[in-house]
Amino acid sequence: MEIRVAIDLPAGLSEVWAHLRDVTTHSDWMLDVAHIQVTSDCSEGLGLRFTSMIAIGPFKLKDEMEITAWEEAKVMGISRSGLARSNGTFRLSPTASGTTLSWEEYLELPKYLNAKLVRKMAKSISTYIWRNNLQNLRKQIIAQQATGVGRDLGGLINVGHEWELRHYGPLHVAKVATKGADFTREAQALQILEKTQVPSPALAKVLSPSSIVIERVDGPTMLEDVISRPWTLTRHAKNLARLHRALGSITAPDNWEKVTEGNSLVHLDLHPGNVKLRNGKPVVINWNRASRGSPAFDAAVTYVILRTADSRIAGSRRLVVSSLRSRFAQAFIKEFGAAEIQDHITEAAELRLLDQNLPNNEREAVFALARGELD
């Protein structure tokens, strides 16, 4: 039994996709869904598994769902197993005024419900529900366009040592502290950077000192791109060095603490994992360690991270990633200037050792680098 419905939405592909990608928010606009809970380790993308509590009148059913297709801003496929089995697909296509969103589903009823009349009724009810679902989504999109950003924290996207990243409306994310971190400095840095040529996410709202809302930046990190496309290594290393130079032209506020001589805004964690590539162009993220100092010291901190960080990847890929990181470090130091970085290696290593989250093997590597004993 096939179901096909579609709707024209007054929003671009990326905005509509932002409403779809966080499956935990689908219950906000789906009439028949009471609650959704993610059950897999991944929080989005191909292979994501989740349970969906279906409520139609007095009847409630728990279905197991899985994402079976995922093409960014184009296609999301979902399989369902439960009383009924189905395979459905959201498809997005651009129009002159926005996006056409369609839902196509093949529904397989259990044998004892497979009579012609039952099938006809089931198709009619399902089509009615899905038309209303898409109408509700349209209303939600228009409402959020009017308010600018989402109102509630959504599903989990990523987790750091001291924070977690969550969906917040279609175009933003919320960075929330998990260990009492204060993001006031990051918010200040993003406000300063908005007026400069250094690409960074726009600050949308400060919910509290421990929670900020920022522009969503989609795309791989520079590190992910180097691993998947090693031939981009030199270009990315040079771009990272140039980002450090660009930061050197930005003056930090006088009331920020100094980590070394100089008055420039410094990142202190500017490695390839903290640079997202949006349409191939770099965007620097995670500014919570922003301070006042010199670009050469900031570059030295990056070099220490590149030389000593643990890839946390098992097997043969670990050796490959370690080799890529070493090559990246050499290309980076050559582009920025080896003499300037070497002058700050010891103090950069000392700063790195203050990180309480640093694993023991990385700590030992930092000591070795500072003593000139690291291979």
Q: What is d(CA 27, CA 25) in angstroms, rounded to the nearest whole number? A: 5
> Are residues 332 and 206 located together in one domain of the fold?
no
Pick from 123, 147, 171: which residue ends a domain?
Answer: 147
- Which of left, alpha, beta for 334 (phi over 0: left; psi -120 to 50: alpha)? alpha
Q: What is d(CA 339, CA 327) in angstroms, rounded to the nearest whole number? A: 18
Mean pLDDT over residues 36-46, rounded?
87
What domain count does the chain have? 3
pLDDT for residue 329 is more than 90 = yes
Q: Is 145 exposed, middle or buried (0-12, 13-18, 19+ CB in 10 A)?
A: middle
Tokens linked to 263: 């008055």
Q: What is d(CA 272, CA 222) in angstroms, rounded to the nearest whole number? A: 5
Residue 333 pLDDT grade (very low, low, confident, very high; cuts 50, 70, 90):
very high
- Whether the Cβ atoms of residue 214 and residue 172 lie closer than 8 Å to each other: yes
Phi, psi of 159 (to 5 degrees): -130, 130
> Are residues 119 and 211 located together in one domain of the fold?
no
pLDDT for residue 330 is more than 90 = yes
Residue 152 pLDDT grade (very low, low, confident, very high; cuts 50, 70, 90):
low
Q: What is the pLDDT of residues 302-315, one digit of tens each?
A: 999 999 987 665 55
Pick from 147, 169, 189: which residue ends a domain?
Answer: 147
| Residue 200 belongs to a domain | yes
Q: How many residues does the chain have?
A: 375
Mean pLDDT over residues 43-64, rounded?
82
pLDDT for residue 279 is more than 80 = yes
- Whether the Cβ atoms of residue 73 and residue 61 lie closer than 8 Å to each other: no
Q: What is d(CA 33, CA 10) in angstroms, rounded to the nearest whole number? A: 24
> Are residues 264 and 345 located together in one domain of the fold?
yes
CATH number of the domain that 139 lies in?
Answer: 3.30.530.20
Which of 75-89, 103-117, 138-152, 211-225 is most confident?
Answer: 211-225
Q: What is d(CA 99, CA 70) in angstroms, rounded to the nearest whole number? A: 18
> Are residues 117 and 70 located together in one domain of the fold?
yes
- Indicate the range of 30-34, 286-290, 299-303, 312-316 predicted with least confidence: 312-316
> Are residues 76 and 189 located together in one domain of the fold?
no
Phi, psi of 53 (to 5 degrees): -90, 110
| Residue 312 belongs to a domain | yes
Pick from 100, 125, 147: which residue ends a domain?
Answer: 147
CATH number of the domain that 184 lies in?
Answer: 3.90.1070
Closest CA to 239 of 227, 221, 217: 221
- Indicate the range of 107-121, 223-237, 349-363 predicted with least confidence: 107-121
| Residue 375 belongs to a domain | no
Closest CA to 243 of 193, 314, 170, 305: 193
Say which residue the tokens 């097997």 belong to: 315
> Are residues 230 and 335 located together in one domain of the fold?
yes
Q: Detail the DSSP E strand segments found in the chain.
A: 2-9, 33-38, 49-56, 59-71, 75-81, 85-95, 98-108, 156-159, 163-168, 172-177, 203-208, 211-215, 264-266, 275-278, 281-284, 291-293
SS3 49: strand
Report the DSSP beta bridge partners of residue 65.
50, 80
Q: How far is CA 67 from CA 7, 46, 303, in A?
A: 22, 5, 39
> Are residues 202 and 246 located together in one domain of the fold?
no
| Residue 162 belongs to a domain | yes
Q: What is the pLDDT of residues 91-140, one digit of tens each?
A: 999 988 789 999 999 977 666 555 565 567 768 888 888 999 999 999 98
> Are residues 165 and 133 located together in one domain of the fold?
no
Q: In the chain, what percentage of residues exceed pLDDT 90?
A: 52
> Are residues 11 and 88 located together in one domain of the fold?
yes
What is the rounded average pLDDT for all residues in the chain? Answer: 87
> Are residues 248 and 309 located together in one domain of the fold?
yes
Q: Is 151 exposed, middle or buried (0-12, 13-18, 19+ CB in 10 A)?
A: exposed
Q: Which residues constitute the domain of residue 185? A: 156-215
Secondary element (H or E) of residue 324: helix 316-336
> Are residues 90 and 143 located together in one domain of the fold?
yes
Q: How far is CA 31 from CA 43, 91, 125, in A?
A: 23, 20, 12
| Residue 57 belongs to a domain | yes
β-pairing, 203-208 with 59-71?
A: unpaired
Phi, psi of 355 (to 5 degrees): -70, 110
Enumerate long-range contacts of 127-133, CB under 8 Å, 24 or more apart: 127/3, 127/5, 129/31, 129/32, 129/56, 130/3, 130/5, 130/103, 130/105, 131/5, 131/7, 132/31, 133/29, 133/30, 133/31, 133/32, 133/103
CATH number of the domain that 300 lies in?
Answer: 3.90.1200.10
> Are residues 330 and 276 located together in one domain of the fold?
yes
pTM, two decimal places: 0.67
